[in-house]
Chains A and B, each alone.
Chain A
Amino acid sequence: MANPAPVAPAPAAEPTELEKRFPGAVKRDARPGYEGHIVEANKLREVATAIRDEMGYDFLSSVTAVDYYSAAPGAENFIEVVYHLFKSTGGGALVYKVQVPRDNSVVPSLVDIYPGADFQEREAWDLYGVKFEGHPDLRRILMWDGFEGHPMRKDWIEPYYEEDLKPFKNRWPEGQVYRIEDHNPFGKNVKYPQGFDPTGFKESDDPRMYATLEQAAREYSEDIDTEQVVVNLGPQHPSTHGVFRMAVRLDGETIVALKPVMGYLHRNHEQIGERNTWIMNMPFTDRLDYLASMSNNFGYALAVEKLMGEKAAPPERAEYIRVIMAELTRISNHLWAIGFLLNDLGAFFTPALYAITERELILDIFEACAGSRMMCNYFRFGGVARDLPAGELDKIKDLVNDRLPRKVDELDLYLTGNELVRSRCEGVGVISPEDAIAFSAAGPVLRASGVPYDIRRADPYSIYDRFKFDVAVRYHGDVYDRYLIRVDEIRQSLRILQQAVTQIPGGEIMTGKNPYQVRVPAGEAYGRVEGPKGELGFYIVSNGKANPYRYHVRAPSFINLTVLEKMCVGSKIADVVVNLGSIDIVLGEVDR
Chain B
Amino acid sequence: MYGFGILKGMWVTLLHFFETFIDDFRWMGKRYYTAEGIEHRRNKGAKGIFTVQYPEEKLPVPEEFRFIPFLVYEVDEQGNKHDRCTSCGICAKVCPPQCIWIVRTEDPVTKRPVPEPVEFFIDIDICMNCGYCAEYCPFDAIKMDHDYELSSYDRHTQHIYNKDKLSKPVSYYAEIRPANYTREEALKAAETAKKAEAAAARAVPAQPAN
Contacts and interface: CB of A to CB of B under 8 A. Distances in A.
Contact of A173 (B2, B45, B50, B89): B89
A351 to B, nearest CB: 9
Closest 10 CB pairs of A and B: A417-B5, A283-B130, A173-B104, A172-B89, A175-B101, A280-B96, A175-B103, A368-B62, A371-B66, A172-B92
Interface in A280-313: 280-284
B14 to A, nearest CB: 11
Interface in A363-382: 364, 367-372, 375, 377
B204 interface: no
Contacts of A413: 8-9, 12
A175 B102 contact: yes
A372 B3 CA distance: 43
B94 A280 contact: yes
Contacts of B4: 417
A121 to B, nearest CB: 31
A419 B123 contact: no
A473 B68 CA distance: 44
Contacts of A418: 5-6, 8-9
Interface residues of A, number: 59
A360 B121 contact: no
Interface string A406-445: 0000100111111111100000000000000000000000
Interface string B68-94: 000000000000000000010110111
Given A361-B42, A367-B64, A167 B12 contact: no
Interface string B1-42: 011111011001100100000000000000000000000001
A413 B8 CA distance: 7
Contact of B65 (A279, A372, A417): A372
A284 B64 contact: no
B132 A403 contact: no
A386 B183 CA distance: 13
A406 to B, nearest CB: 10
B120 to A, nearest CB: 8
Contact of B64 (A168, A370, A399): A370
A230 interface: no
Contacts of B65: 367, 371-372
Contacts of B131: 371, 377, 385
Contact of B44 (A276, A368, A398): A398
6 contacts: A173-B103, A181-B125, A368-B63, A371-B144, A372-B129, A516-B94
Contacts of A174: 103-104
A389 B103 contact: no
Contacts of B132: 279-280, 283, 516
B130 A390 contact: no
A222 interface: no
A412 B135 CA distance: 42
A466 interface: no
A360 to B, nearest CB: 7
A395 interface: yes
Contacts of A167: 92-95, 98
Interface in A234-269: none
A375 B78 CA distance: 42
Interface of A: 162, 166-168, 170-177, 179-181, 276-277, 279-284, 350, 354, 357, 360-361, 364, 367-372, 375, 377, 385-386, 389-390, 395, 398-399, 402-403, 410, 413-422, 514, 516
A177 B101 CA distance: 6
Given A172-B92, A367-B62, A410 B3 contact: no
B89 A276 contact: no
B96 A168 contact: no
**How many of chain B's residues touch chain A, expressed as a range?**
35 or more
B187 interface: no
A360 B50 contact: yes
A361 B39 CA distance: 12
Contacts of A516: 90, 93-94, 132, 136
B170 interface: no
A578 B98 CA distance: 41
Given A173-B103, A367-B65, 4 more contacts: A173-B102, A173-B104, A419-B5, A516-B132
Given A180-B123, A403-B44, A414 B12 contact: yes
Contacts of B6: 418-420
Interface centre among B6, B66, B98, B128 (most CB of A within 10 A): B98
Contact of A389 (B44, B63, B94, B136): B63
Contact of A402 (B44, B119, B128): B44
B121 A276 contact: no
B123 A179 contact: yes
Contact of B119 (A175, A368, A369): A175
A357 B50 contact: yes
B176 interface: no
Contacts of B126: 180
B112 interface: no
Contacts of B102: 171-173, 175
B98 to A, nearest CB: 5
Contacts of A372: 65-66, 129
A281 B128 CA distance: 12
A413 B4 CA distance: 11
A357 B43 CA distance: 11
Contact of A361 (B12, B13, B44, B144): B44
B179 A414 contact: no
A51 to B, nearest CB: 39
Contacts of B123: 177, 179-180
A377 B130 contact: yes
A320 B2 CA distance: 46
B129 A375 contact: yes
Nearest to B117: A175
B166 interface: no
B179 A390 contact: yes
Contacts of B141: none
A176 B12 contact: no
A284 B9 contact: no
A342 to B, nearest CB: 10
